Amino acid sequence: MMRVFNRCVWSLALLICLLSMLSNFHGIGVMASHNVHLRYQTNNVDKVKQVYRTGYHFQPKKNWMNDPNAPMYYKGFYHLFYQYNPKGAVWGNIVWGHSVSKDMINWIPLEPAIVPSKPFDKYGCWSGSATILPGDKPVIIYTGIINEKPEPGHQAQSYAIPANYSDPYLRKWIKPDNNPIIKPIHENVSSFRDPTTAWFNNGHWKLIVGSKNNRRGITYLYRSRDFIKWTKAKHPFHTKKDVGMWECPDFYPISSQGTNGLDTSTLGDNVKYVFKASLDITRFDYYTIGSYNLVKDKYVPDSTSVDGWAGLRYDYGNFYASKTFFDPIKKRRILWGWANESSTRSEDIAKGWAGIQLIPRKVWLDPSGHKLLQWPINELERLRDQKIELSNVKINKGDTVEVKGINVVQADVDVTFTFSSLDKAELYDKKWENFPPEDLAKSICGIKGATVQGGLGPFGLLTLASSKLEEYTPVFFRIFKTTGKKHKVLFCSDATPSSINKNEYKPSFGGFVDVDLTTKKLSLRSLIDHSVVESFAEGGKTVISSRVYPTLAINENAHLHLFNNGSENVMVEKLNAWSMKTAHIN
């Protein structure tokens, strides 16, 4: 009896000894925890319930947020305003929330800047934009709701100016009584909103307002000499039939050379133009590249730019109501976009918040001239903390390689995959052309998920994965052979297996990547942040953002893997992954 007991104790002791050694290696240690006061403990929202709040994506402390409004730079600070409900986690009671920042990553929250207070915005202060007038004088033009009917509201545009130009935070704004300055007359009064930043040429300020006529998307052009009296142009600035309402239009110049942004009024050689609209029906943001006809004061998309539901999108996932501004300090065109929740309304109310902004992106023209490239602003890299590096790791078919040593729910992961041959790429099925063209990539991602074996691919990341892979959000590539030695690269961010919670909206977002495969390399960067996975393929050629709500893959129980489920072996040439510090946002 004693012998057995001793043997058991000996083995147990050995085991404890080994474990203790291992834990010391990983820095966990066995130091007793202290209940240290005091001055260093920040206000703690109940962390147990709030597993989905982001660590470094912009969101207010609580309640509902939607469109980003009037992003701008003034006297040393970047400003972000946003549609905000101070009273609850659903849309309603809309005011303009306001925060300022030195780096668009860490923020100082302020009181709301614009709230209903006048006859011309009594029923709501909806979206709008900022224009910086000469002499560094910002002015906001926004949509005020003057009447609840006709639904969703009788809309008109009004302006607001800072109460005190010497306050760098611009906390307070005043709305002069000569508002509204742009009223709908013949236009559809309940579809007349989201005025853009104005641009100046030929002695006039010009801006556009989003609208529709039945199913025709329209942007109306308004001109003014003094920014107060606005006259509608006879013809729309741009219009397209059968697309539905154009919300949150945006129009800006883009340089055909280099990555720098341009002031919104820029004209000249080597300048192309971007026109963007949020499509109310599909809930996606689309853009075209084109030219600005100064004589007719019209935008004309290039013939190579598809204008409509099947057109190019900033982001093939959850990304809406986006808006750009020109950063005059670093000479960048910056893009903000909103992601709503994919959870249910009652879950949003229970958790007390809804809506995040995606990380601000620098936008520039691809050298081909046919599409835009985007990349998270490099200030984000300040949050990078512990780093893990991997080089030359082979992933055979069916393998997963776990990435350990970082906080995988709050991380920045940058990986380059290589492969030696395209021969095994599966055939692109011609029948897929029967899918609606605007949904083509998403449909293929839906039928060919990460567990469906392939030839070259699927390979990529399994983010926010639970221990037994009951939950995971795969972000991956799959390569197809088409006709005549050509290939198509599909990029998917698939929420389908992300959570065992049956109530969530779990779409299999996807987009094609326009890339030359002769290098036999594909790169991927994913920003993972609790309930959002924001992924950039090939340096920003195709971007997809997903909102996910795992129930098992949270905090210490989440994992991150590289995977390959294709018959062609894949090599991870290089992986850099960082834990991200939590940003100061509220």
Residues 585 and 355 sit within 8 Å (Cβ to Cβ):
no
Structure tokens at 369: 């001239």
Cα–Cα distance measured from residue 569 to residue 317, given in angstroms and rounded to the nearest whole number? 29
Q: Should residue 2 be labelled a site residue for other proteins when binding is judged by CB under 8 A?
A: yes
CB-wise, 308 or 328, nearer to other proteins? 328
Tell the residue number behind the tokens 């989003």, with chain if given: 210
Q: Should residue 31 be labelled a site residue for other proteins when binding is judged by CB under 8 A?
A: yes
Residues 519 and 468 sit within 8 Å (Cβ to Cβ):
no
CB-wise, 334 or 363, nearer to other proteins? 334
CB of 525 to other proteins, least distance (A): 21
CB of 584 to other proteins, least distance (A): 4
Q: Should residue 40 be labelled a site residue for other proteins when binding is judged by CB under 8 A?
A: yes
Cα–Cα distance measured from residue 244 to residue 240, given in angstroms and rounded to the nearest whole number? 9
**Exactly one of 50, 55, 69, 167 binds other proteins (CB under 8 A); which one?**
167
Q: Should residue 61 be labelled a site residue for other proteins when binding is judged by CB under 8 A?
A: no
Q: Would you give the binding string for other proteins spanning residues 452-481, x where CB under 8 A is met? A: ------------------------------
How many helices (DSSP H) and strands (DSSP E) are in the chain? Answer: 3, 38
Of residues 62-91, those binding other proteins (CB under 8 A): 76
Tell the residue number behind the tokens 């309603």, with chain if given: 92
Q: Should residue 30 be labelled a site residue for other proteins when binding is judged by CB under 8 A?
A: yes
**Exactly one of 169, 200, 375, 435 binds other proteins (CB under 8 A); which one?**
169
Cα–Cα distance measured from residue 509 to residue 449, given in angstroms and rounded to the nearest whole number? 11
Considering the candidates 67, 307, 315, 494, report the single residue annotated as catalytic: 67
Q: Should residue 429 be labelled a site residue for other proteins when binding is judged by CB under 8 A?
A: no
CB-wise, 408 or 515, nearer to other proteins? 408
CB of 215 to other proteins, least distance (A): 46
Which segments of 300-344 does DSSP mark as H helices, in order?
none
Taking every pair of Cα atoms in the chain, the longest distance, rounded to a whole number of angstroms, is 101
Element at 203 (helix H, strand E): none
Of residues 372-391, those binding other proteins (CB under 8 A): 382
**Exactly one of 1, 37, 151, 483 binds other proteins (CB under 8 A); which one?**
37
Alpha-carbon torsion, ordered 26, 27, 31, 36, to 10 deg: -140
**Exactly one of 1, 32, 48, 295 binds other proteins (CB under 8 A); which one?**
32
CB of 103 to other proteins, least distance (A): 7
Number of residues that bind other proteins (CB under 8 A): 40
Angstrom CA distances, 13 to 19, 76, 268, stand at 10, 61, 78
**Exactly one of 1, 29, 185, 433 binds other proteins (CB under 8 A); which one?**
29
**Exactly one of 45, 51, 108, 422 binds other proteins (CB under 8 A); which one?**
108
Cα–Cα distance measured from residue 418 to residue 394, given in angstroms and rounded to the nearest whole number? 9
Q: What is the DSSP string of 525-538?
A: EEEEESSEEEEEET
Angstrom CA distances, 239 to 217, 243, 249, 260, stand at 6, 9, 11, 29
CB-wise, 100 or 440, nearer to other proteins? 100
Q: Should residue 329 be labelled a site residue for other proteins when binding is judged by CB under 8 A?
A: no
Cα–Cα distance measured from residue 95 to residue 116, given in angstroms and rounded to the nearest whole number? 7
CB-wise, 32 or 185, nearer to other proteins? 32
Element at 350 (helix H, strand E): helix 345-351
- What's the gap between Cα 546 and its chain centre? 9
Q: What are phi and psi of 444, to 5 degrees?
A: -65, -40
Residues 122 and 143 sit within 8 Å (Cβ to Cβ):
no
CB of 137 to other proteins, least distance (A): 20
Collapsing DSSP to helix, strand or coil, 47 comes out as coil
CB-wise, 386 or 391, nearer to other proteins? 386
Residues 578 and 479 sit within 8 Å (Cβ to Cβ):
no
67 as an active site residue: the answer is yes
Q: Should residue 13 be labelled a site residue for other proteins when binding is judged by CB under 8 A?
A: yes
CB-wise, 15 or 294, nearer to other proteins? 15
CB-wise, 104 or 513, nearer to other proteins? 104
Of residues 88-107, those binding other proteins (CB under 8 A): 102-103, 106
Q: Should residue 185 be labelled a site residue for other proteins when binding is judged by CB under 8 A?
A: no
Collapsing DSSP to helix, strand or coil, 79 comes out as strand
CB of 42 to other proteins, least distance (A): 7
Q: Of 25-33, 142-150, 392-400, 530-538, which segment contacts other proteins by CB under 8 A?
A: 25-33
Q: Should residue 47 be labelled a site residue for other proteins when binding is judged by CB under 8 A?
A: no
CB-wise, 80 or 572, nearer to other proteins? 80
CB neighbours of 6 closer than 8 A, spacing ≥ 6?
Answer: none
The binding site for other proteins (CB under 8 A) comprises: 2-3, 6-7, 9-10, 13, 16-17, 20, 24, 27-32, 34, 36-42, 76, 102-103, 106, 108-111, 167-169, 171, 382, 581, 584
Residues belonging to the active site: 67
